[in-house]
Amino acid sequence: MARSNIIAITLASENEKIQALAWAQEGAPTTVCVRIAPTSDKPSPHWRDFSLNEELSPLKKDAKAGAVAAIHSFFRQKVNNENIEWTIGGVWVTEISAGAESDLDSGTAHPQPLFNQISKKLEGDPPRTTTVANLHKAAEWFVDGPLTSLMKDESLDKYSEPILKASTVTTTLKTEELEEGMLLTNGTLFLPRPTEYGFTDYDLLKTAKDNDQYVLLQGQPGTGKTTLLLAALGEHEQIVCTGDTNRSNFVGRDVRVKGDWITKIGPLPRAMEKGIPLYVDEVAMCDPRELITLFSVMDDRKELTLDEFPDYNDGKPIKAKEGFYIVFATNPDSEGAILSDALMSRMDFEPEYTTDFDLVAKIIGSDHDELITVARSMETMRQNAEVGSALQFRDLVKFKKNHDIYGSKFAMAALVNKIRGESDREVLRDLIHRVMGVGNIPTFRI
Can you give the CATH number for the domain in which 332 is found? 3.40.50.300
In a domain, 185, yes or no: no
The letter for the amino acid at 95 is E
The letter for the amino acid at 223 is T
Which of 178, 208, 230 corresponds to the end of one domain?
A: 178
160 and 253 belong to one structural domain? no
143 and 225 belong to one structural domain? no
Q: Output DSSP code: residue 97.
A: P
Cα 349–Cα 353–Cα 356 angle in degrees, nearest 5? 140
Return the pLDDT at 434: 94
212 and 333 belong to one structural domain? yes
430 and 382 belong to one structural domain? yes
State the total domains in the chain. 3
The letter for the amino acid at 96 is I
167 and 199 belong to one structural domain? no
Distance of CA 401 to the CA centre of its chain: 23
Q: How far apart are CA 272 and CA 209, in angstroms?
A: 14
22 and 108 belong to one structural domain? yes
Where are the alpha helices (H) located in 223-356, listed in sequence order?
225-233, 247-251, 267-274, 292-295, 341-344
Q: Residues of 44-78 as b/e, b for ≥16 C-beta within 10 angstroms?
A: eeebeebebeeeebbebebbbbbbbbbbbbbbbbb
Q: What are phi and psi of 425, to 5 degrees?
A: -65, -40
In a domain, 339, yes or no: yes
Q: How far apart are CA 271 and CA 276, in angstroms?
A: 5
**Are 296 and 341 within 8 A, CB to CB?**
no
328 and 296 belong to one structural domain? yes
In a domain, 445, yes or no: no
303 and 254 belong to one structural domain? yes
> What residues make up the domain containing 93?
4-178
Return the pLDDT at 378: 95
In a domain, 361, yes or no: yes
In a domain, 351, yes or no: no
In a domain, 184, yes or no: no
**Are 305 and 261 within 8 A, CB to CB?**
no
Q: How far apart are CA 276 and CA 270, in angstroms?
A: 9
70 and 146 belong to one structural domain? yes
Which of 178, 201, 230 corresponds to the end of one domain?
A: 178
Low-confidence ranges of the chain (pLDDT < 50): 1-2, 55-61, 97-111, 161-178, 180
H-helix or E-strand spanning residue 402: helix 393-406
Return the pLDDT at 399: 94
Return the pLDDT at 56: 46
Handedness of CA 239, 242, 247, 249 (dihedral sign): negative
14 and 157 belong to one structural domain? yes
Return the pLDDT at 162: 43
Q: Give the strand pairing for 237-240 and 182-183.
A: unpaired
In a domain, 352, yes or no: no
Return the pLDDT at 357: 92
168 and 31 belong to one structural domain? yes
For the sheet with 216-218, list strands across it. Answer: 216-218, 325-330, 277-281, 237-240
In a domain, 446, yes or no: no
**Are 267 and 311 within 8 A, CB to CB?**
no
168 and 268 belong to one structural domain? no
Question: What's this model's pTM, rounded to 2 decimal places?
Answer: 0.58
Which of 344, 373, 399 corresponds to the end of one domain?
A: 344
Q: How far apart are CA 430 and CA 389, in angstroms?
A: 15
